[in-house]
Amino acid sequence: MNETILRKYAELVVKTGINLQDKQTLVISSPLECAPFARLLSETAFKAGARDVVINWLDDLSSKIRFLHAPDEVFDEFPEWRRDFYLSYLREGAAFVSISASDPELLKEVNPDRIVRAQKTSNIALTEYREKIMSHQNSWCVISVPTKPWAAKVFPAVSEDEAVDRLWDAIVKAVRADAANPVDAWNRHKTQLRERRDFLNASQFKLLHYKSANGTDLTVELPAGHIWMGGSKNNGKGVEFIANIPTEEVFTLPKKTGVNGTVFSSKPLAYNGNLIADFSLTFKDGKVVSFTAKQGKDILEKLLATDEGAAYLGEVALVPYDSPISNAKILFYNTLFDENASCHFAFGKAYPTCIQDGAKLSPEELASRGVNDSLVHVDFMVGTADLEITGIAADGRQVPVFKNGNFA
Ligand code: ZN
Ligand code: ZN
């Protein structure tokens, strides 16, 4: 990828993504393979006034070796120093960037029980970190950079090098880093998302009814005082940031016990090194009561059984079928991109900021207002070209929100 575009991308992440403040510390979680871009981010951050930049190196292949060969009990342990690492930077007000670039099928030979157990252990140990991040106390941003195994999965018909080039092209377009001035392009994009969000907030629908020819027929109740978010958010200090680059969604939370009917997936879900594909979920009073999956049924089953809240929804997100990422017609096998090409839901924890005063409420108060809690938060895609979503207001009035996959 051309050096000028890479620099623009790095600036976009530092300035628009986390909106780094003077003398702020930046923590970057990066796969080893993405080291050149992590270093470029680090240099860009120092030039923008960072106090320090700390890189948390990750290695997919070492994790795989550990998953295959370590004794069972290590998956129930989380080292204290690692928890302290996240918490100490969180408490000093650092910003967090993570580079999501895993091989989507990295762990397919691993016993799914180990994967879900390890995920649960880490989520329990990092509860305080997850809560602060999900209520947007600190700025954070998830981005992607190609790696060979990931690119090969997305573009299987070409050589690895060619696949990496193509994935770079697709990412650069999706994140608007190829614009003359990406920061300006994002300002325009943020305005468009704000308009959608404002319309939905003013509407305060009581129910959304989803219907599609693939069999989807689902009603989702939205709790009183729900807030649609999208584009930028403000952190605990009032500093604007963008948590995902790219982002095309506007989202809120469902009432935990208000989801009924069946929904079919429209894209495979890459979850912790495994693919879950062609699946459907049937809900009764919010809970998944039955499900099917042509691929990855065992991992889906374990995911839903993580804890009580994992079998309920925590996010409702609207993305037009006709959006830049979707129009690229590339299946990324990476949720950061696939969720931004499709209407989606998430299993598990809801963002507390999606309900009035949510960031100030205790876990019990949130629960009493219908906000789901869980150790997991996993997005899955349901948008199709023919998806219809009807908004039903408290007085019964029906308003088309989506027609033929796009905002009506
Ligand atoms: Zn989402
Ligand atoms: Zn989500």
Residue 269 in this model has a pLDDT that exceeds 90: yes
Quick: pLDDT tens for 346-376.
999 999 999 999 988 999 999 999 999 999 9
Residue 230 CA to ligand 2 centre (angstroms): 11
Mean pLDDT of the chain: 95
| Mean pLDDT of the 232-256 span | 96
231 C-alpha to ligand 1 centroid (Å):
11
Task: Assess whether pLDDT exceeds 90 at residue 313.
Answer: yes
Cβ pair 305, 331 in contact under 8 A: no
Distance 230 CA to ligand 1 centre (A): 9
How far, in Å, from the CA of 212 to the mean position of ligand 1? 20
173 alpha carbon – ligand 2 mean position (Å): 22
Ligand 2 center to 336 CA (angstroms): 9
For residue 65, the CA-to-ligand 1 centroid distance in Å is: 31
Burial class (CB in 10 A: 0-12, 13-18, 19+), 250: buried
CA of 231 to the centre of ligand 2 (A): 13
Q: Ligand 1 centre and the CA of 339: distance in Å? A: 6
Nearest listed ligand to the Cα of residue 383: 1
Give the residue-averaged pLDDT of 102-108.
92
% pLDDT > 90, the chain: 95
pLDDT (0 to 100) of residue 359? 84
Q: Is the dihedral of CA 159, 330, 134, 78 positive or negative?
A: negative
Q: What is the pLDDT of residues 126-166, one digit of tens each?
A: 999 999 999 999 999 999 999 999 999 999 999 999 999 99
For every residue of the chain, which 3-state class applies, written as one string? CCHHHHHHHHHHHHHHHCCCCCCCEEEEEEEHHHHHHHHHHHHHHHHCCCCEEEEEEECHHHHHHHHHHCCHHHHHCCCHHHHHHHHHHHHCCCEEEEECCCCCCCCCCCCHHHHHHHHHHHHHHCHHHHHHHHCCCCCEEEECCCCHHHHHHHCCCCCHHHHHHHHHHHHHHHCCCCCCCHHHHHHHHHHHHHHHHHHHHHHCCCEEEEECCCCCEEEEECCCCECCEECCEECCCCCEECCECCCCCEEECCCCCCEEEEEECCCCEEECCEEEEEEEEEEECCEEEEEEEEECHHHHHHHHCCCHHHHCEEEEEECCCCCHHHHCCCCCCCHHHHHHHCCEEEEECCCHHHECCHHHCCHHHHHHCCCCCCCCEEEEECCCCCCEEEEECCCCCEEEEEECCEEC
pLDDT in the model for residue 277: 96
313 CA distance to ligand 2 centroid (A)? 10
Ligand found nearest the CA of 314:
2
Confidence of residue 324 (pLDDT cuts 50, 70, 90): confident
Report residue 292's pLDDT band, with 50, 70 and 90 as the boundaries: very high
Give the residue from 12, 343, 3, 342 showing the smallest Cα distance to 176.
12
Query: 0.85 cut: is pTM over it?
Result: yes
Give me ligand 2 centre to Cα 317, in Å: 8
Give the pLDDT band of residue 338 (cuts 50, 70, 90). Answer: very high
Look at residue 1 and tell me whether its pLDDT is greater than 90: no
Question: 159-217: per-residue pLDDT in tens?
Answer: 999 999 999 999 999 999 999 999 999 999 999 999 999 999 999 999 999 999 999 99
pLDDT at 118 over 90: yes
Ligand nearest to C-alpha 246? 1
pLDDT of residue 186: 94
What structural domains does the chain harbor? Answer: 3-174 (3.40.1830.10), 196-407 (no CATH)
CA of 379 to the centre of ligand 1 (A): 6
Q: What is the mean pLDDT of residues 22-49?
A: 98
Q: Which ligand is nearest to the CA of 351?
A: 2
- Interval between CA 351 and ligand 2 midpoint (Å): 8
Predicted pLDDT at 145 = 97
pLDDT at 20 over 90: yes
Distance 124 CA to ligand 1 centre (A): 22
Ligand 2 center from residue 377 Cα (angstroms) = 6
Give me the pLDDT at residue 327, please.
87
pLDDT digits (tens, 9 = 90+) for 52-95: 999 999 999 999 999 999 999 999 999 999 999 999 999 999 99
**How far apart are the CA of 349 and the centre of ligand 1, in A?**
12
Find the mean pLDDT for residues 6-12. Answer: 96
The whole-number pLDDT of residue 323 equals 83
Question: What's the gap in Å between 251 CA and the centre of ligand 2?
Answer: 8
* 374 CA to centre of ligand 2 in angstroms: 13
Interval 270-279 mean pLDDT: 94
Q: Does 322 score more than 90 pLDDT?
A: no
